[in-house]
Amino acid sequence: MNMITNHLPTAELQALDAAHHMHPFTAGAELAAKGARVITRAKGVWITDSEGEEILDAMAGLWCVNIGYGREELAEAAARQMRELPFYNTFFQTTHVPAIALAQRLAEMAPGDLNHVFFASGGSDANDTNLRLVRHYWASKGKPEKSIVIGRKNGYHGSSMGSGSMGGMKGIHAQGGLPIPGIVHINQPDWWSEGGDMTPEDFGLARARELEDKIAELGEDRVAAFIAEPIQGAGGVIVPPSTYWPEIQRICDEHEILLIADEVICGFGRTGSMFGTQTYQIRPDIMTVAKGLSSGYAPIGASIVSDEVARTIDEAGEFAHGYTYSGHPVSCAVALANLDILVGEDLVGNVADRTGPYLKEKWEQLVDHPLVGEAKIKGFMASVAMTPDKAARAPFLASKGTVGAIARGHCFDGNLIMRHVGDRMIISPPLTLSKPEVDVLIERAVRALDLTLAEIKDKGLYR
């Protein structure tokens, strides 16, 4: 019998957590010394901790709780499915209704001829599917040497061997022998940090053309695919200049390579359209989805593939790939209930037309704060870049992320969940966020920025 409950004192829960629970992307010893914050329940955009504090979750869990917390419909769907058919595989010439229904639903929702769905348990393994799929696709067309995947520095596609390799996170590549062979990276379209004296538009074009240069350098006959997020999420909410995606699309059209759009964060409404590819008018061959697909209520991811790619793979015989939980019936049932709410309550409309414009107006005003150099927002993804010198777009002298971590601490203490990426502060709230909740979010964010400024001045870090 499990004796660990919400009713244990916080310190006891923290001690047990430190003793036995290894956390993702966490310095274990450091966390053990101070104790993790214990989250016990959630409703709407609010989470509650074991001390009874009510915290505004401006990160929607981990960019995923798009419909907000506490929706009974999803709990019902899961319970119903667990009673009827808790598991069956989709490997050996079998299928089941939840997988059929969700695949059909996604084919209907996805733009263009993206009509075929390969299920995974999350985003990392869906991207691993994509890596094997694009290489197998070209091999099936008699071009096995067309195998290199081009990703981007500071892109994020997951932390497994394949997805972590296609991503361009230095910290991930530094551990465990990544990137694996056959994966290369071009620079990201982060104008604030890397644009120098160029206009954002010229910089966007220049960064897109790195793809064309890389294809030329490697030889088109060796390149399988380019993978990118419409807007980089984990990289710090890097909203690309307006020129970037049209130029990337032109390059992909003119060269025989596949385009993989990683929609794990952008998908299901976050950018103000159902998919980020629609916001930027991108025509990918494959889309990766996860997170908002089930609003995080159950683990699920998928690759949504074009007619042509699917036909090639299907006609080539067996694709020797799959996960036990590919098309898990409970996750599929939960995802279907989630999509009913997302569409039925027009949450994309809340981002595009109702709360979204209000949040944009308030968020962009943060640029007037003495610490903030850039305030960027697209739909319900936003970032502020903190700087000691706005005109020079200069980083702090302290090592990157020092000031960000201080700001994150003040957000936390002020019952607002915002993440820091380096010295950028970012949000990605549930798509249900209301205007009064925007006011609370902004008020708490400004307070955290004020306290951060005072603290770094105090410590001599404001330089």
Give the x/- contact pattern for ligand PXG in 244-263, rule: CB under 6 A.
------------------x-
Determine, following the binding rule CB under 6 A, whether residue 386 of this chain makes contact with ligand PXG: no
Q: Could you give the CA distance from residue 100 to residue 424 in angstroms, rounded to a whole number?
A: 41
Site residues for ligand PXG, 145-174, by CB under 6 A, read 156-158
Strands 419-421 and 424-427: antiparallel
Between residues 301 and 395, which has the closer beta carbon with respect to ligand PXG? Answer: 301
Nearest CA-CA partner of 380 in 417, 350, 415: 350
Determine, following the binding rule CB under 6 A, whether residue 62 of this chain makes contact with ligand PXG: yes
Minimal distance, residue 103 CB to ligand PXG, in Å: 19
Determine, following the binding rule CB under 6 A, whether residue 122 of this chain makes contact with ligand PXG: yes
Nearest CA-CA partner of 155 in 257, 262, 266, 59: 262
Between residues 178 and 206, which has the closer beta carbon with respect to ligand PXG? Answer: 178
Q: Considering only residues 61, 189, 195, 233, which one is a binding residue for ligand PXG as defined by CB under 6 A?
A: 233
Residue type, 302: A
Cα angle value 432/277/445 (rounded, 5°) = 40
Between residues 124 and 350, which has the closer beta carbon with respect to ligand PXG? Answer: 124
Between residues 296 and 356, which has the closer beta carbon with respect to ligand PXG? Answer: 296
Taking the CA atoms of the chain, what radius of gyration do you get in angstroms?
22
Q: Could you give the CA distance from residue 216 to residue 90 in angstroms, rounded to a whole number?
A: 41
Which stretch, 229-237, 238-246, 355-363, 447-455, contacts ligand PXG (CB under 6 A)? 229-237
Determine, following the binding rule CB under 6 A, whether residue 47 of this chain makes contact with ligand PXG: no
Determine, following the binding rule CB under 6 A, whether residue 60 of this chain makes contact with ligand PXG: no
Determine, following the binding rule CB under 6 A, whether residue 128 of this chain makes contact with ligand PXG: no
Q: Which residues pair with 228 in a beta bridge?
A: 261
Report the residue closest to ligand PXG, judged by CB: 123
Give residue for tokens 């994966």. Answer: 183
Between residues 264 and 453, which has the closer beta carbon with respect to ligand PXG? Answer: 264
Q: Could you give the CA distance from residue 268 to residue 110 in angstroms, rounded to a whole number?
A: 10
Nearest CA-CA partner of 183 in 157, 206, 204, 201: 157
Determine, following the binding rule CB under 6 A, whether residue 265 of this chain makes contact with ligand PXG: yes
Q: In what order do the strands lie in the sheet with 381-386?
A: 372-378, 381-386, 424-427, 419-421
Q: How many CB atoms lie within 10 A of CB 322?
A: 15
Minimal distance, residue 31 CB to ligand PXG, in Å: 15
Minimal distance, residue 25 CB to ligand PXG, in Å: 6
Between residues 166 and 206, which has the closer beta carbon with respect to ligand PXG? Answer: 166
Site residues for ligand PXG, 182-211, by CB under 6 A, read none
Q: Could you give the CA distance from residue 152 to residue 169 in angstroms, rounded to a whole number?
A: 9
User: 241-275: b or e for each residue (b if 16 or more CB lie within 10 Å)?
Assistant: bebbbebbbebbeeeebbbbbbbbbbbbbbbbbbb
Between residues 206 and 421, which has the closer beta carbon with respect to ligand PXG? Answer: 421
Site residues for ligand PXG, 271-290, by CB under 6 A, read 290
Determine, following the binding rule CB under 6 A, whether residue 229 of this chain makes contact with ligand PXG: yes
- Give the interface size with ligand PXG as a residue count (CB under 6 A): 16
Give contact residues for ligand PXG (rule: CB under 6 A): 62, 122-124, 127, 156-158, 229, 233-234, 262, 264-265, 290, 301
